[in-house]
């Protein structure tokens, strides 16, 4: 029985159990997990998964807790573009690689721009579907900062489409979540979309 309090078992699964699962997958794929080139692969995969799925260890909303009120009267849109991320499709556990564009219209406070990137990464480093991730990012910013509006656009390539299945390399999925004035005011919406539109 795995001790869920053990440091190697943050979710009730030990590193040894994770490595055994990788060995099984290697064997199921048709290779020999005991050959020289694959001997250390299960441990490497377990360690890489710990990093790639680090989003389960954080609450992204906490990144937005510290704000700054001395903004010199600035009340226009704050936009952080081209936040690169890697996520994993929850249906096939294959990489989703893309960029996120995040914006908000502050009320009386702003947040450090690196924190917006950390929010994106926090939600990306989980098993995801892009639509859900887009909404999660927008809702987190809206709930914590209470701005006049939030806009999030994500563009990504899904390996489950480009490496298998329909085999359509080069295709990208674009999703958006618009809240507050970004949804209700056409001028705000158009300004945001024009700033994030690919040239």
Name the residues annotated as catalytic: 89-92, 130, 158, 160
Q: Are 80 and 64 in contact (CB under 8 A)?
A: no
**Region of residue 194 (left: phi > 0; alpha: psi -120 to 50; beta: else):** alpha
Tokens of 167: 């085999």
* Residue 128 dihedral angles phi and psi, to the nearest 5°: -140, 165
DSSP designation for 30:
T
Q: What CA–CA distances, in Å, run from 137 to 141, 150, 164, 199? A: 6, 9, 28, 24
């Amino acid at each position: 029985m795995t001790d869920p309090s053990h440091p190697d078992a943050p979710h009730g699964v030990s590193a040894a159990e994770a490595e055994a699962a990788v060995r099984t997958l290697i064997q199921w794929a048709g290779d020999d997990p005991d050959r020289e080139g694959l001997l250390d692969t299960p441990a490497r995969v377990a360690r890489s998964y710990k990093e790639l799925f680090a989003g389960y260890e954080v609450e992204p909303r906490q990144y937005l807790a510290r704000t700054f009120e001395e903004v010199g009267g600035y009340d226009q849109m704050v936009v952080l573009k081209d936040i690169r991320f890697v996520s994993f499709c929850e249906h096939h556990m294959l990489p989703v690689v893309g960029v996120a564009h995040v914006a908000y219209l502050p009320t009386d406070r702003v947040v450090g721009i690196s924190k917006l990137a950390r929010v994106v990464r926090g939600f990306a480093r989980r098993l995801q579907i892009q639509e859900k991730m887009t909404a999660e990012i927008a809702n987190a910013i809206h709930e914590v900062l209470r701005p006049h509006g939030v806009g999030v656009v994500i563009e990504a390539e899904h390996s489950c489409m480009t490496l298998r299945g329909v085999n359509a390399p080069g295709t990208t999925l674009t999703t958006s979540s618009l809240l507050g004035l970004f949804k209700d005011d056409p001028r705000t919406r158009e300004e945001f979309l024009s700033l994030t539109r690919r040239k």
